[in-house]
Amino acid sequence: MQPDDRRDLAAMMYPLMRALVAVELPVLAERGVSMWGYSVLTALDRTPIRTQAALAEAIGADKTRIIGTLDELQGAGLISRTPDPGDRRVRLLAITDDGRRVRRAVAAGIRAREERLLATLPAGDRRGFVRALQALSALPPAELESLAGGE
Amino acid sequence: MQPDDRRDLAAMMYPLMRALVAVELPVLAERGVSMWGYSVLTALDRTPIRTQAALAEAIGADKTRIIGTLDELQGAGLISRTPDPGDRRVRLLAITDDGRRVRRAVAAGIRAREERLLATLPAGDRRGFVRALQALSALPPAELESLAGGE
């Protein structure tokens, strides 16, 4: 029935996701940033985002959930919220220089730990794994779901 | 600071995990099995398990959480619970022939959908991705965590 007896992808990914979250938590704790805070900083380091709703969508979070996170980040001087000159009701979110430094330090710490995990793999599989993750995670959500869903 | 600007592995895996769960749910629903039920059937199809505690550990579930799942599976005739002849206080959990059929039908349905996702990748990356997942998910949890954690 199956060409080989591999386990489902989700079943294989589940323990790995848990280990990867375990990678991130101590690095985040050391810098006093939450997981959602780090997601926000990462999104804003790539591109300033105009509204909180757009940011929430970009990081796959609930809109109300990130308000507390944004308050914390702003309180710590890691992001700024300024009124949009074109529409005073809208606030533009941006990362500050401090926020950029914190994000990059966290990313470097996570990266160093990830590399220890990846170093257990043969070089070809390691490259294939990272490239496959990059390609699949770059698919638009609708395309990912249509590939995955339906008959 | 970083050799290339790839995103964190967990950040790339997160949308993929969501898509893979979306792959599984309709296939499971069609057969009337829950996600945890499917995990139980998969574990028991590999090897009969002596205690509910051992089963819970094998699938990474909370021990109390799976009791309802086991009742459901037994009610549907997909698993059996029989007293261990060596220790009457212990019940041996095993998959039934019907359970095996359901598990394999679900696995085949999931597999077909996964292959559509994987088919978007170059063949080499696809193989590297699956092999890397197999290798990383086969690491004992303690080793996975020690590779991922600490300095």
Give the model confidence (pLDDT) of A112-145 as tens digits: 989 989 999 999 999 999 999 999 988 887 787 7
pLDDT of B18: 83
In CATH, A11-120 is 3.40.50.300: no
Task: List, for chain B, all residue ranges whose pLDDT scores fall below the cut of 70.
Answer: 1-4, 149-151
pLDDT of A20: 87
- In the block, residue with structure tokens 């028991």: B44
Give the model confidence (pLDDT) of A39-89 as tens digits: 999 999 988 887 888 899 888 888 888 899 999 999 999 999 988 888 888
**Interface touch B144/A117, C-beta < 8 Å:** yes
pLDDT of A89: 82
One CATH from 3.60.10.10, 3.30.565.10, 3.90.1180.10, 1.10.10.10 for B27-120: 1.10.10.10
- In the block, residue with structure tokens 């965590």: B145
Across chain A, mean pLDDT equals: 88
pLDDT of A90: 83
Q: List chain B residues with CB under 8 Å of A47.
A: none
Give the model confidence (pLDDT) of A8-36 as tens digits: 898 889 888 888 888 889 999 999 999 99
Identify the three-state secondary structure at position B93: strand
Q: SS in 3 state form for chain A?
A: CCCCCCCCHHHHHHHHHHHHHHHHHHHHHHHCCCHHHHHHHHHHHHCCECCHHHHHHHHCCCCCHHHHHHHHHHHCCCEEEEEECCEEEEEEEEECHHHHHHHHHHHHHHHHHHHHHHCCCCHHHHHHHHHHHHHHHHCCHHHHHHHHCCC
Q: List chain A residues with CB under 8 Å of B110.
A: 8
pLDDT of B57: 86
How many helices, marked H, and strands, marked E, lie in chain B?
Answer: 7, 2
pLDDT of A52: 86
Conformation bin of residue A87: beta by default, left when phi > 0, alpha when psi is -120 to 50: beta
Distance of CA B76 to the CA centre of its chain: 20
**B1 near A CB under 8 A:** yes
**B53 near A CB under 8 A:** no
pLDDT of A149: 66
**Interface touch A117/B147, C-beta < 8 Å:** yes
Q: What is the pTM of this model?
A: 0.79
**B61 near A CB under 8 A:** no
ipTM tops the 0.95 cut: no
- Chain A, nearest residue to B19 by Cα: A145
Q: Residue ranges per domain, chain A? A: 11-120, 122-151
